[in-house]
Amino acid sequence: MDELAHAVEMNPLEFRLKNLKDARLKAVLEAAAKQFGWGKAKPAADHGFGLACGTEKGSFVATCAEIAHEKDKKRVRVLRAVTAFECGAVLNPDHLKNQIEGAVIMGLGGALFERVDFADGKILNANFADYPLPRFRDAPVLETVILNRPDLSSEGAGERPIIGIAPAVGNAIFAATGVRLRSMPMIPDGLEIN
pLDDT range class, residue 135, cuts 50, 70, 90: confident
Q: What is the CATH number of the domain that holds 104?
A: 3.30.365.10
Rounded Cα distance, 27 and 60, in Å: 9
What pLDDT was estimated at residue 6? 94
* Count of domains for the chain: 1
Residue 150 lies in a domain: yes
Residue 31 lies in a domain: yes
Q: pTM for the full model? A: 0.92
What Cα–Cα distance (Å) separates residue 65 from each residue in 10, 22, 25, 43, 154? 18, 22, 18, 11, 27
What domain range includes position 108? Answer: 27-177
Phi, psi (degrees; rounded to nearest 5) at 137: -65, -20
- Mean pLDDT for the chain overall: 92
Residue 80 lies in a domain: yes
Residue 7 lies in a domain: no
